[in-house]
């Protein structure tokens, strides 16, 4: 199995990348995300550690799940860095491809949500605040964000219940 430590100084794909992609293409997911979506995200992020932008308010019960999960996983997953984000206003400074961990109203289990899914939905999934949703859509239209994947955590469930599922989703995104 590949790990971030197998990268070369030139930031090239590790030798086992093709085998991982092949395995991923045939794996069935239980979270509602397609293996093809995971493959696309993985390929685009093959040369960097995963930087996960964490949104939420630890003091608000309905908005604290993502923050609590990030706190539990922080420092425990090689190649994954959690960065607290309080407002969506500086997202464009994070680059063209974003991974976001956030509470989502209406989910029954953690899952990956693409920006395209949010744009195409006639009944959009609600992130904790519309400022994040609309900021992402606007930044994409302006060409400042090309890709965003939200690791959505059920807003109305305990964070402890979802830590393992979020860990699996994040590890699946590792290049």
- Quote the percentage of the chain above a pLDDT of 70: 66
Please state, as a whole number, how many other Cβ atoms lie within 10 Å of the Cβ of residue 1: 8
Residue 7, pLDDT > 90, answer no
Angstrom CA distances, 160 to 4, 64, 154, 157, stand at: 27, 11, 11, 9
Distance linking the first and last C-alpha atoms of the chain = 11
Alpha carbons 71 and 65: distance in angstroms, whole number: 10
Q: What is the pLDDT of residues 150-167, one digit of tens each?
A: 999 999 999 999 999 999
pTM, to two decimals: 0.70
Domains of the chain: 13-173 (3.40.50.1450)
Q: Residue 62, CB half-sphere, CA atoms under 13 Å: how many? A: 8
């Amino acid at each position: 199995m590949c790990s971030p430590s197998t990268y070369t100084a030139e930031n090239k794909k590790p030798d086992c990348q093709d085998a991982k992609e092949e395995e991923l293409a045939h794996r069935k997911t239980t979270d509602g995300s397609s293996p093809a979506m995971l493959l696309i995200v993985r390929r685009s992020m093959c040369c960097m550690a995963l930087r996960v932008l964490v949104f939420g308010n630890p003091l608000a019960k309905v908005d604290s799940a993502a923050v609590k999960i990030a706190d539990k996983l922080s420092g425990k997953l090689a190649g994954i860095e959690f960065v607290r984000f309080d407002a969506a206003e500086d997202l464009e400074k994070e680059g063209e491809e974003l991974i976001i961990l956030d509470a989502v109203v209406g989910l029954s289990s953690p899952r990956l949500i693409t920006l395209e899914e949010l744009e195409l939905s006639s009944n959009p999934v609600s992130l904790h605040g519309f400022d994040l949703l609309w900021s992402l859509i606007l930044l994409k239209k302006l060409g400042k964000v090309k890709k965003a994947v939200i690791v959505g955590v059920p807003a109305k469930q305990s964070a402890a219940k979802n830590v393992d599922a979020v860990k699996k989703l994040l590890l699946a995104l590792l290049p």
